[in-house]
Amino acid sequence: MLGSLARRLRWLGYDAEYRNDLSDGEMIALARREGRVLITRDRGLANRRAWREDGHRLYLAETDLEAQVRAIMAALGPPPGPSRCIVCNGELDPLAPAEAAPLVPPYVAQTQTEFVRCRRCRRVYWPGTHLAGLEAWRP
């Protein structure tokens, strides 16, 4: 449900993991272990007693994506770093145009000069008009 929000948060520079395959207890344990704030639209999960005690949870009442982003920025402060991979949340490293050229479609290599590559999934990104300002290509 919050997958598109996770992508937006990554693009903004938040370290945003997204899981929909874990139980509530597993999610809480993972967030604790990694020092994360758990963001949920599940009021029951947000209100679990063990969770409320350490304060690292944020219940999102908003349903609109833009309003959700504003609520998170108000609660957590500005993004801590540069954009992350919107697909896997990996960190992005600059990539020289000559290195990027064989990894992207020819028209992109001819027209773009700025590239970054995900450390985790190896996707290459460049400034674009889709996907909230970035376009991706997985070699």
Give me the half-sphere count of Cα atoms (radius 13 Å) on the Cβ side of residue 75: 17
Within positions 49 to 108, which residues make up the interface with Zn ion, using CB under 5 A? 85, 87-88, 90
* DSSP codes of every residue in 6-26: HHHHHHHT------SSS-HHH
Give me the half-sphere count of Cα atoms (radius 13 Å) on the Cβ side of residue 38: 30
Q: How far is the CB of 35 from Zn ion (least distance, A)?
A: 21
Per rule CB under 5 A, is residue 136 in the interface with Zn ion? no
Nearer to Zn ion, 57 or 84 (CB): 84
Q: How far is the CB of 128 from Zn ion (least distance, A)?
A: 16
Nearer to Zn ion, 52 or 120 (CB): 120
136 forms beta bridges with 125
Interface with Zn ion (CB under 5 A): 85, 87-88, 90, 118, 120-121
